[in-house]
Amino acid sequence: MKITVAGTGYVGLSLAVLLAQRHEVIALDIIKEKVDKINAKISPLKDEMISRYLKEKDLHLYATLDKSEAYSDRDLIIIATPTNYDTSKDHFDTSSVEEAIERSLEYGKDTPIVIKSTIPVGYTDKVKERYKKDDIIFSPEFLREGKALYDNLYPSRIVVGAKTKVAEVFSKILKEAALNDPKVLLTEAKEAEAIKLFANTYLALRISYFNELDTYAELKGLDTKAIIDGVGLDERIGSHYNNPSFGYGGYCLPKDTKQLLANFSDVPSEIIGAVVRANHTRKDHIAKMIVDKGPKVVGVYRLVMKADSDNFRSSAIFGVMERIKAQGIKIVIFEPTLQDESFEGYEVINDLRTFKDRSDIIIANRYKDELDDVRDRVYTRDIYRRD
pLDDT of residue 100: 96
Specify whether the CB–CB gap between 3 and 74 falls below 8 A: yes
The one catalytic residue in 45, 160, 167, 252 is 252
pLDDT of residue 387: 59
Specify whether the CB–CB gap between 91 and 77 falls below 8 A: no
Specify whether the CB–CB gap between 173 and 22 falls below 8 A: yes
Read off the amino acid at residue 264.
F
pLDDT of residue 102: 96
Instruction: Map out the domains of the chain with their CATH numbers.
Output: 2-187 (3.40.50.720), 203-379 (3.40.50.720)
The burial of 271, by beta-carbon neighbours within 10 Å (0-12 exposed, 13-18 middle, 19 or more buried), is given as exposed
Assess whether 89 carries a catalytic annotation. Answer: no
Beta-bridged to residue 73, according to DSSP, are none
Measured CA to CA in angstroms, residue 109 lies from 6, 168, 208, 336 at distances of 16, 21, 45, 46
371: DSSP letter: G
* pLDDT tens, residue order, the chain (387 aa): 999 999 999 999 999 999 999 999 999 999 999 999 999 999 999 899 999 999 999 999 999 999 999 999 999 999 999 998 877 777 889 999 999 999 999 998 899 999 999 999 999 999 999 999 999 999 999 998 889 999 999 999 999 999 999 999 999 999 999 999 999 999 999 999 999 999 999 999 999 999 999 999 999 999 999 999 999 999 999 999 999 999 998 778 888 898 899 888 889 989 999 999 999 999 999 999 999 999 999 999 999 876 656 667 678 999 999 999 999 999 999 999 888 899 999 999 999 999 999 999 999 999 999 999 999 999 999 999 865
Phi, psi values for residue 305, rounded to 5°: -65, -35
The burial of 307, by beta-carbon neighbours within 10 Å (0-12 exposed, 13-18 middle, 19 or more buried), is given as middle
pLDDT of residue 314: 74
Closest CA to 146 of 19, 354, 359, 307: 307
pLDDT of residue 323: 97
- Dump the DSSP string for 94-126: -HHHHHHHHHHHHH-TT--EEE-S---TTHHHH
Q: Where do runs of H (alpha helix) occur along 240-373?
A: 253-263, 271-291, 316-325, 352-358
Closest CA to 334 of 306, 359, 302: 302
pLDDT of residue 88: 73
Find all residues with CB under 8 Å of 380, minimum gap 6, and list them: 363, 364, 365, 366, 367
Instruction: Give exposure, 346-368, as e/b (b: 16+ Cβ within 10 Å).
Output: bebbeeeeebbebbebbbbbbbe
165-177 vs 10-19: helix crossing angle, rounded to 10: 80
